[in-house]
Amino acid sequence: MTRKATFYHAGCVVCISAEQGLAHALDPAALSVEIVHLGKDRSRIAEAEAAGVVSVPAIVIDNQAFHINFGASLADVRGAA
Amino acid sequence: MTRKATFYHAGCVVCISAEQGLAHALDPAALSVEIVHLGKDRSRIAEAEAAGVVSVPAIVIDNQAFHINFGASLADVRGAA
């Protein structure tokens, strides 16, 4: 049974590099990775924030937020309507 | 054939959490992950720096440095003899 991982991004260059380099390198036998574009799916910003995400790109695994480099703050993603 | 990934850390709490949560979740079929403790293996600090690592924990995949949260700066790791 795979655990769930959620990769939050906002389409930025740093985000795409982290998605391709890291999110796609996770073990599919262990983790089921969902990719969420917070710029497009703004209803999930609150969920990311609740999981401890403060900037994107970030990946949440087992309720732990791992921020990967720095693309944009969640406040900026929220602000960019 | 697996590509090489190098996870650099310094034994800090943030480092260990990233190692267990993220480095161990990488696909073993795609990546061969080497774990390097820069506090113990100080001769490799320069190599990490050359790969673009500025803080630990960080993972280098295909010459790209991904910093995961923030444990300590490389300067601090270098300074702590």
**What is the helix (H) or strand (E) element at residue B57, kind and residue range?**
strand B55-61
Q: What is the pLDDT of residues A20-69, one digit of tens each?
A: 999 999 999 999 999 999 999 999 999 999 999 999 999 999 999 999 99
pLDDT at A80 over 80: no
Of B25, B64, B67, nearest to A26 by CB-CB distance is B25
Pick B26's closest partner by Cβ from A25, A64, A69: A25
For chain A, say whether B18 makes contact (Cβ under 8 Å).
Answer: yes
Cα separation of A57 and A7, whole Å? 7
Q: Where are the alpha helices (DSSP H) in A1-81?
A: 13-21, 45-50, 74-79
- So what's the pLDDT on residue B2? 85
pLDDT greater than 70 at residue A17: yes
Q: Do B66 and A18 touch (CB under 8 A)?
A: yes
The shortest C-alpha distance from A51 to chain B (Å) reads: 14
Closest CA to A51 of A37, A39, A36, A61: A61
User: What is the predicted ipTM?
Assistant: 0.91
Q: Which residues pair with A32 in a beta bridge?
A: A4
A27-56: burial string, b at 16+ Cβ within 10 Å, e else: beebbebeebbbbeeeeebeebbeeebebb
> pTM for the whole thing?
0.93
Question: Which residues on A lie below 8 Å from B62 (Cβ)?
Answer: 21
Query: Could you say which residues of chain B have pLDDT below 50?
Result: none
pLDDT at B81: 54
What's residue A31's pLDDT? 94
Q: How much is the pLDDT for A81? A: 54
